[in-house]
Amino acid sequence: MKKRWTIRKHDADAVNKLAAEISVKPLIAALLIARGHDTAEKAIQFLNPSPEHLHEPFLLKGMREAVDRIQKAVDAKEKIMIWGDYDVDGTTGTVLLRKMLSLLGVESTFHVPNRFTEGYGINIPALEQAQLGGVTLVISVDCGIRSFEPLEWASDHGLDVIVTDHHLSDEVRGNPPAVAVVNPNQTGCGYPDKNLAGVGVAFKLAHALLRENELEHEVPQFLKIAAIGTVADVMNLTGENRAIVSLGLLDLTKTDNFGLKALMEISDCRSDMTSMHIGFRIGPRINAAGRMDVARHVVELFEATDFSKARELATLLDSRNRERQKVQQEITELALLETGSHDGRFFVVVAGDGWHQGVIGLAASRIAEKLHRPTIVLSLRDGFGHGSARSIANFHLLNALDVAEELFEQYGGHAAAAGMKIKLENIADLREKLNEYAAKTLTEQDLIPELKIDALLTSRSLTIDLVDELSGFEPFGAGNPKPIFVTRDLVLRDEPFVMKDKHLKLKLLGEDQRVFEAVWWDGVERSKGQTLKPNSRIELAYVAEANVWQGNRRLQLVVEDLRADN
């Protein structure tokens, strides 16, 4: 789909002023201002994440009640169970809290539900089993904020539950009946940063408890697992999340955790570790456990006590990830075919019998990206559709689902993503309602994908030094994307080289006759409609990166989009 380019305008006076104040080049100052770091104080803080940027954990509503109840359980040697969601956020948070409790001298148990047999959230049968096994306190991670019936059962049967979550609560029913709810997004919580991941909320709980037990010096070791979960769950890497991830990435490759070592080795992350490595190599393998098999393997991996066991589990996750990629591709293709049979001008709702529930969210993301429409993909089984939804810019997904709440058996999520269960007979009505709502909410411009360009650069300014200057913006990710530049004075030197039948490598000449190498991932598909012939003049939108090969670093331009003039 053709994109509309929006090239950001910069205030030259403000840029030069900030550049002089903090001794950086004007381009760096312009990028800082564009990201909201428009004073010397803000810019310096952004460029230098530190432990001081972590907020006071007791600012979270419900934290004091949660800490007091857990401390009581610790002192009395009660049996505690951590209930973690099956995605990367929940499994890493489970590992984190179990490690914290171990430091406090408590051997906890854990439960990570099976996506296919138990579904999302807390359920009564597993709570029943936990209580029969002697558990008196359950602590959730990344779920529970809408688990009303299970928590009512727990309350009626004397089983205490503490909910830690970051998803939005039910505006009508409020919080479920828990001993404590720790969630920055709950009503009445004045916590200064609402963007914490589920593992981030677990980290704040661990921080508070370690302080209460005079073990605050142990807090930094928990940042590594918190960083992995935060990046892999695609949370905004701004504010406190930036501090968590920046600090957690430090010396990550020197970890003494057997599971993480094995996972980095099998993911080919041996000498370097950035947020991109976590997002595209580590995270997918962790998530694959919950998508394809049993997510408890992730907890077992990080808790492995010898490398051979860790390597075995890492290999298992790697094979599950490869299986996930294959199934995802198949379902995405089927779902894209299905879109042609329904009215999805504003909102795509597609369904298929027996589609793998573990990958429908990824298929929804792919379709939303390709068609630039909010999308729901449903797997039909036993009279119900189990679905996953993804949104586009300027469209609040959960608000849209609220309009059709009477059609769902259950649903939840946030602005960008959601999950649901719906009766088969309600799907057509859902499609109609969501399209009506989206038609009123979205503009024609919203339906054209926007590529935001940070700055125009001449080819003379393109050197490896540019990459080094941008390194202060790491870690990159959601909320802090890699800067995208446009250069207009380029000429295609040769025919594009096709890699693995889907990617393109381009040789481009700048105005000073220097040759630049550009790579366009999925360029074969994305270049459809463009004629790329030698000597074509190219207007290139790209990200500047370093390509490292056999110890040599050279500039590589990663194509976001291009316009060719023949």
pLDDT for 566: 66
- CATH number, span 340-447: 3.10.310.30
In whole angstroms, give the CA distance from residue 499 to residue 492. Answer: 17
Looking at the domain covering 57-219, what would its CATH class be?
A: alpha beta
CATH 2.40.50.460 residue ranges of the chain are 4-8+451-565
Tell me which H or E stretch contains 519: strand 515-520
pLDDT for 565: 86
CATH 3.90.1640.30 residue ranges of the chain are 57-219
Lowest-pLDDT range, 76-85, 197-206, 522-531? 522-531
Task: Tell me the per-residue pLDDT of 172-218, one tens digit each, with 9 for 90 and over.
Answer: 899 999 999 999 999 999 999 999 999 999 999 999 999 999 999 99
Task: Tell me the per-residue pLDDT of 305-363, one tens digit each, with 9 for 90 and over.
Answer: 999 999 999 999 999 999 999 999 999 999 999 888 777 789 999 999 999 999 999 99
Q: Which two tokens stand for residue 321?
A: 């990830």
Sequence-distant (≥ 6) Cβ neighbours of residue 118 within 8 angstroms = 125, 126
Evaluate if residue 171 carries a pLDDT over 90.
no
Write down the H helix ranges in 250-306: 258-266, 275-277, 283-292, 296-302
Q: Which two tokens stand for residue 354?
A: 């027996």
Give mean pLDDT, residues 152-172: 94
CATH 3.10.310.30 residue ranges of the chain are 340-447
Q: How far is CA 17 from the centre of its chain?
A: 35
Contact 456, 414 (CB under 8 A): no
Q: Which two tokens stand for residue 14?
A: 């403000």
4-8+451-565 is a CATH 3.30.70.100 domain: no
